[in-house]
Structure formats: structure tokens, C-alpha cells
A = this chain, B = another copy of it.
Amino acid sequence: MGSSAATTNGVVDKGADFANYFCTYGFLYHQKEMLCDRVRMDAYYSAVFQNKHHFKGKVVLDVGTGSGILAIWSAQAGARKVYAVEATKMSEHARELVKANKLQDVVEVIEGSMEDIVLPEKVDVIISEWMGYFLLRESMFDSVLCARDRWLNPGGVMYPSHARMWMSPIKSGLVDQKIRDYDGAMADWSGFIKETEAYYGVDMSALTKPFDEEQKKYYLQTSLWNNLHPNQIIGTPVIIKEIDCLTVTVDDIRDVRASISSSITEENARLCGFGGWFDVHFRGSDKSPAQMEIELTTAPDEDLGTHWGQQVFLLHPPRNVQFGDELKINFLMTRSKENHRLMEVDLSCEIKRASGKPVPPLHKKFYIE
């Protein structure tokens, strides 16, 4: 069995997908982490209860209901019927919770993959918390779009209705730590090479290059979860993708491509990499706007962290930049061939000095794992 067993010709292997992705959602511990994210919870709670007109007497579909929380809120806000679809055994807990909150006449929990199940009717609202790190990791939004195209009534609304991806130049001590870790791993490796030759008569040095690549990828090219402080942002944050959840297609989000510029806003700063985050909005639709628009942002904030944090892409070595320097960034995010729920980022950056002095351009490859 080759290492590509997880996907064959772009067709997702369901066993591998369950082992890699769904399995963690089967734990209450993991659901609780999301349920304890106050920023996330407050946003969805306000979105539902301050826009009851979208729910009163309506049919709602909750894609990936997990513990059932969004389905329960939808019912409490007055929905006539809520279909709560969940792929994992968490569905059993959701069903219990619905019952304990006396909503079993409104909320119907369905265990199954959104792509596979059949609803008895079309719906007026699709609510879902589908966002992964840097918005699109996990590719769960595909399942929401599939649900929309099959089950949303014309004139129906999406919760959330809009999403955006953001990026910004940052400074961060993480880069020094990761470079140290990588150097340590390579120093350790050269000791290993010597010992294996001396004690066991085998020359392992042919593996030095692939080991180096593996460790570089692990320490320096894999994006990191981090809760950035706003003062780590050293340039203007830029939008790299805007999504209208009512009209976007999977083809529109499979690759994310952006050519952007950001200007450095700090004197004598150290450009250590880039931070990426997202926000989503609950605005209803043109035909049926929200009474109260709600925003859920995962931008760096002094007080309000989310479980998503930000994704950090490190630049090694860091570069010195000056106030007014202009970064011209080409960004391309694609899905990993081996696992469509993980991402690869190709990032190139030209630094246009305010001083005019030329700087060699950067080109880096990253993995969102």
C-alpha cells in the first residue's frame, strides 16, 4: 500500500477520511472546546436570537450539528422544524441533548454524511459552523455548499452569509525558536550518522538530504497555530478572499489566489512571517436582510482569543523592514493531493523599500496540516 492510499484519483477514501478527520469530532472533549469558545458562541447566539424573523416558523438545516447547539438555538428561536445532520456518533449525544431540552418535536437529529442523506423537504435556513483554521482548512464548507445546492429553498438564507480571509505581515519570536529546533534536530542527526557508522557499520548519510527536507517542512514550513497579539502586526492587514455563502461554488474556493500589497507600519521592524485569519458575517440575504448584522472575527485581539487563533507562516531568516516599505505578495492556496482537507500555500513576496534599495524577492512553500 503506497502512501497515497488516502485518496485515489481525487476520490476521497471514506475510511481514511474518518480516521483523519471525523474521528476527533466524536469526542465530547473536542465539542466542548468549541462550546467554550465565547467569541464563537456569542456570535452565533446573537446571530440567531437577534434575527428571530429568520427562524420563526421556518425550516432550518444545521450542517454538522455536533453536540446539537445550533439546532437547539434555532428551535428556541422559533423554528418549525430543524434537521440536524451529523456524521459521527456525536449525533447520539445531540439527540439526548435535544430531548433533555424538550425540543424533540422540532429538532430531528440525523446521523449521516450531509452528502449522503435525504431530507423530506427543502429548508429556509442553513446554519453551520464549518470554519477551520484559516477558514478553509478541513474543507467542510464543501459539505455546506452541497447542502445548499440540494436543499435550500429559493430565497433561503445562509448562516453565516459571508466570509473573508485576511493576511498580515507580523513579527514573532516563534521564528527563532523554530530555527533553533530545526538546527537541534540536524545536529542530533549528524551525531546519529556517526554512531550508526561506528557501532553498526552502516553509512546512513544518503538519508541526510531527505531527513533535512522532512525536518525543514516540519519546523519551518508548516504553519503554526498561534494567538497573536495585535502589536505583533507590523503592516496593513489585507483581505485575500471574499466569499458570499449564497452564491459561491466549490470551484471558486478550491484554489485561493491573491495578489496583494501591504505596507509596513512600524519603524525598524523584523518581518518574521505572515499571520492569517478569517471573519464571517451574518447578514441574511439581499431579499431577506438581517435585522441585526453580526460579525465573528478571529483577528488578533488583546483580550478575545478564539480556539481558531491565527495561522502563522514563518519567514526564515527574518528580514529587516522599515516604515513605508511595500510588500507585494502573491498568494496561492491549494488543497493537498494526499488529503483534500489540508492545504498547501505558495507565497512569494517582493519588498519595495521606501528607500528604493533593492531586496531579493522571497518565495516560500508552506503546509497547513
Known contacts A41-B200, A89-B2, A97-B206; is-contact A214 B28 (Cβ 8 Å):
yes
- Determine whether the beta carbon of A3 is less than 8 Å from that of B15: no
Of A16-24, A157-165, A312-320, A353-361, the stretch lying at the interface with chain B is A16-24
The answer, yes or no, to whether A5 is at the interface (CB within 8 Å) is yes
Which residues of chain B come closer than 8 Å to A89, judged between CB atoms?
2-3
Of A29-37, A223-231, A297-305, the stretch lying at the interface with chain B is A29-37
- Determine whether the beta carbon of A29 is less than 8 Å from that of B112: no
The answer, yes or no, to whether A324 is at the interface (CB within 8 Å) is no
Which residues of chain B come closer than 8 Å to A99, judged between CB atoms?
206
Closest partner residue, chain B, to A18 (CB atom): B5
Shortest C-beta distance, A212 to chain B (Å), equals 10
Shortest C-beta distance, A196 to chain B (Å), equals 7
- Determine whether the beta carbon of B27 is less than 8 Å from that of A214: yes
The answer, yes or no, to whether A76 is at the interface (CB within 8 Å) is yes
Contact of A206 among B16, B23, B100, B202 (CB under 8 A): B100
Known contacts A211-B32, A214-B28; is-contact A112 B19 (Cβ 8 Å):
no
Which residues of chain B come closer than 8 Å to A29, judged between CB atoms?
185, 211, 214-215, 218
Query: Copy number in this complex?
Result: 2
Which residues of chain B come closer than 8 Å to A200, judged between CB atoms?
41, 45, 69, 73
Contact of A3 among B2, B18, B203 (CB under 8 A): B18
The answer, yes or no, to whether A234 is at the interface (CB within 8 Å) is no
Shortest C-beta distance, A365 to chain B (Å), equals 18
The answer, yes or no, to whether A176 is at the interface (CB within 8 Å) is no
The answer, yes or no, to whether A291 is at the interface (CB within 8 Å) is no
- Determine whether the beta carbon of B19 is less than 8 Å from that of A19: yes
- Determine whether the beta carbon of A35 is less than 8 Å from that of B196: yes
Which residues of chain B come closer than 8 Å to A35, judged between CB atoms?
192, 196, 204
The answer, yes or no, to whether A201 is at the interface (CB within 8 Å) is yes
Shortest C-beta distance, A14 to chain B (Å), equals 6
The answer, yes or no, to whether A26 is at the interface (CB within 8 Å) is yes
Which residues of chain B come closer than 8 Å to A112, judged between CB atoms?
1
The answer, yes or no, to whether A13 is at the interface (CB within 8 Å) is yes
Given contacts A1-B22, A72-B202, 15 further A-B contacts (CB under 8 A): A1-B14, A1-B88, A2-B111, A3-B89, A6-B19, A13-B13, A15-B19, A28-B214, A32-B189, A32-B192, A35-B192, A36-B192, A67-B207, A73-B200, A97-B202
Q: Would you mind naming 12 contact pairs between A and B with Cβ atoms under 8 Å apart?
A: A5-B17, A5-B18, A5-B22, A6-B15, A13-B14, A13-B15, A15-B15, A28-B211, A29-B185, A93-B210, A96-B210, A100-B206
**Closest 3 pairs (CB-CB, A-B):** A13-B15, A15-B16, A100-B206
